[in-house]
Structure 1
Amino acid sequence: MPHPEPPQDETDLGASAPLPAVHYAEQALLGALLLQPHRLESVSTLTSEHFGDPAHSALFAAMHTVPPPVAEVHRMEPVWLNAVLATARREAAALNASYLHMLVDACPWPQHAAAYARMIRAGHARRTLRMHAQRLAQATTDTTGPDPAAATLTETDTLTGFLDDLAGQFPPHPGSLPRTPLPPPLPRDRGEPVLSEERLLLAAATARPHEVTTMRWLQADDFALPLHGALFASLTTLAHRGDPVDPVTVLWEAQHRGLLATGLTPADLMALVSAPAGSPEYWGERVLRRALLAHAHLAALRIQAFTDDPANSPHQLITGSRRALAELTAVRARWQRALAPPAPPPRPPSPRAPAAARAGPPHVAGLPVSSAQRVTR
């Protein structure tokens, strides 16, 4: 998240909007390094990209660009400070000498520079995680690309990889579950195109129930309209039992499941499953694709909620984000099964060659084997 340019004096700082706690950690670290440049070695894992304030990032980069000063000279002359300021102003023109003095005053203890650096890395992790979550949410609603599902899964992989990297940077600790209230699921799109495709799936499944038995990758919760999901569950129950499937038998099964209590009349239900068009697999993939995008969007919103809560530590962000992605991972596995090519039919077993005759003593016609053995002696 970008922050305003550094204020010209303390009064400007008080007049601006409240800044996050990491902003003051950035100020404290920069003040420590301005006072004691040799401490740059203790924060070698930090880069200018970790800073949220662009002016702070420019200052930190300038400290690595300008050769370090001699300690005795630095205590007597501001030569290094002036060079750092001049270099940083190429990227942040609002910087001035008074702000550098304010940074020095903002540092409680230069010896705590490493602790300030850890806070800055944590702040950068929070901002970057939120950025990945926002990109994931955007991918789920972007209809300009050729394949929104593929783009969504690509962003999911990027976010998951970032979480894995964070897990190696921030060790776990007790009480790592975030307590942030989760946003509720967004209402599913129930426009006429969506509901029409679900109705076509139900009719096609009724006409071709043998294909439904191979569609274990589709579940009732994937439907935008719960009634359609319940009807699909009725269909699959009949198909897996090997019972006859037609509009009448579907009506009977739906009645036992209490679906007629929703206000749906028997005639309406039979009409709903009596006009097949296309294959069940085709319409089922479209239903599952929308469910995949809906789960990804919800996971992105939940991760953003975690990053918006400043009480969450980096490890809490990692744990909460992984849990938010768990349901998406399950739907993704079903999506991959739906797209997998059908398994080739099993090959018939090759005919076995006749067993070779077992070697033994010669057989004399008319005599048993034991006698033939005696004759050969």
Structure 2
Amino acid sequence: MLAEADALAAVVDDIAARFPPRAGVLPRTAAPSPPVAPDYTEAVEEEQMLLATATANPADIESVRWLLPDDLTLPLHAGLWQCLTALARRREPVDPVTVLWEAQQRGLLDDGSEPGEVLHLLAEPTGSVEHWSERALQRSLLATADRTGRRIEAYAGDTANTPFQLVVGARRSLADIGAVRTRWQHATGTVPTPQPRPAPTTRAGPPTTTAAYTGRAARATR
């Protein structure tokens, strides 16, 4: 999927060379909905294990600073991750009770979540913080790539969009992938060899003939 994103970026660059984008021109196409509602069952279970394991091993949180709350699928999980990182940053004690207290102070349970359920969620650690963090970030990267592809496809399919709008919208969408991808590379220590992009196609101008050049030179000396 990431290779396809790179190929798409090359196509966008080629279009940009043909139709340089103008500032302030954005497509108005609505973001498309996924064709099939995603199944978050596995993601939710793994995020719960991440939160519980981080609660039991708060010293490991610092090593996964590349994981952001937005990488998690549920708002409650994202909020609890913020609580954990905040407690670790302040070097305060971290256990299920202190995380629950921090969550209550932030209003995370105002949506109806029960304190007992949160305590239970945080009390069953397994595996390592790094492992579950990488899993969450990988899902976030793939989900971002999928959303970006569908968004650019919608831009291209909207006949109301000009080439300028397509280029600007596509580049903004591709930047989202780039941001998550950079964090993924940092997390896994893998920096792929950059693939050379084909030179953009330029518009051909009228041929310059010897006769035309001679004529211009003669006029210039008059």
Cα gap change, 1:318/1:267 in structure 2, threshold over 3 Å: closer, same or farther?
A: same
**Do the aligned residues in 2 keep the contact of 1:234 with 1:253 (CA within 8 Å)?**
yes
Cα displacement (A) at 1:153? 1.4
Moved more, 306-315 or 236-245: 306-315
Match of 1:167 among 3, 10, 16: 16
Distance 1:318 1:289 in 2: 27
- Tell me which amino acid in the other structure corresponds to 1:293: L
Aligned position for 1:191: 40
| Deviation digits for residues 199-231 of structure 1 (CA, Å, limit 9, x no counterpart) | 100011001111111211111111111111111
> 4+ residue stretches of structure 1 with deviation over 4 A?
184-188
Aligned position for 2:91: 242
Same amino acid, percent of matched pairs: 49
TM-score, length-normalised on structure 2?
0.78
| Deviation digits for residues 313-357 of structure 1 (CA, Å, limit 9, x no counterpart) | 22321111111222222111211111127xxxxxxxxxxxxxxxx
- Tell me which amino acid in the other structure corresponds to 2:107: G
| Deviation digits for residues 150-177 of structure 1 (CA, Å, limit 9, x no counterpart) | xx21111111112112222223456643
Greater gyration radius: 1
Aligned position for 2:69: 220
- 3-state SS of the aligned residue for 1:165? helix
Distance 1:230 1:303 in 2: 30
TM-score, length-normalised on structure 1?
0.47
How many pairs were matched up?
Answer: 190
- Aligned pairs (5 A) from 1:57-76: none
| Deviation digits for residues 287-329 of structure 1 (CA, Å, limit 9, x no counterpart) | 1111111111111111111111122222321111111222222
Aligned position for 1:363: none
- Aligned pairs (5 A) from 1:132-281: 152-173=1-22, 176-183=25-32, 189-281=38-130
| Deviation digits for residues 124-147 of structure 1 (CA, Å, limit 9, x no counterpart) | xxxxxxxxxxxxxxxxxxxxxxxx
Cα gap change, 1:173/1:267 in structure 2, threshold over 3 Å: closer, same or farther?
A: closer
**Do the aligned residues in 2 keep the contact of 1:235 with 1:250 (CA within 8 Å)?**
yes
Match of 1:285 among 129, 134, 144: 134
Distance 1:338 1:287 in 2: 11
Aligned position for 1:368: none
Distance 2:21 2:32 in 1: 25
- Return 5+ residue gaps in structure 1 as ranges: 1-151, 342-377
- Return 5+ residue gaps in structure 2 as ranges: 191-222
- 3-state SS of the aligned residue for 1:213? helix
- Tell me which amino acid in the other structure corresponds to 1:295: T
- Tell me which amino acid in the other structure corresponds to 1:222: D
**Do the aligned residues in 1 keep the contact of 2:27 with 2:165 (CA within 8 Å)?**
yes
Aligned position for 1:108: none
Match of 1:313 among 155, 162, 167: 162
Cα gap change, 1:173/1:233 in structure 2, threshold over 3 Å: closer, same or farther?
A: closer
- Tell me which amino acid in the other structure corresponds to 2:63: T
Relative contact order, higher structure (CA 8 A, sep 6+) = 2
Cα gap change, 1:189/1:205 in structure 2, threshold over 3 Å: closer, same or farther?
A: farther
**Do the aligned residues in 1 keep the contact of 2:54 with 2:84 (CA within 8 Å)?**
yes
Distance 1:252 1:187 in 2: 37
Distance 1:263 1:174 in 2: 45
Cα displacement (A) at 1:184? 5.1
Distance 1:257 1:172 in 2: 43
| Deviation digits for residues 223-275 of structure 1 (CA, Å, limit 9, x no counterpart) | 11111111111111101110011111111111111122222222221111111
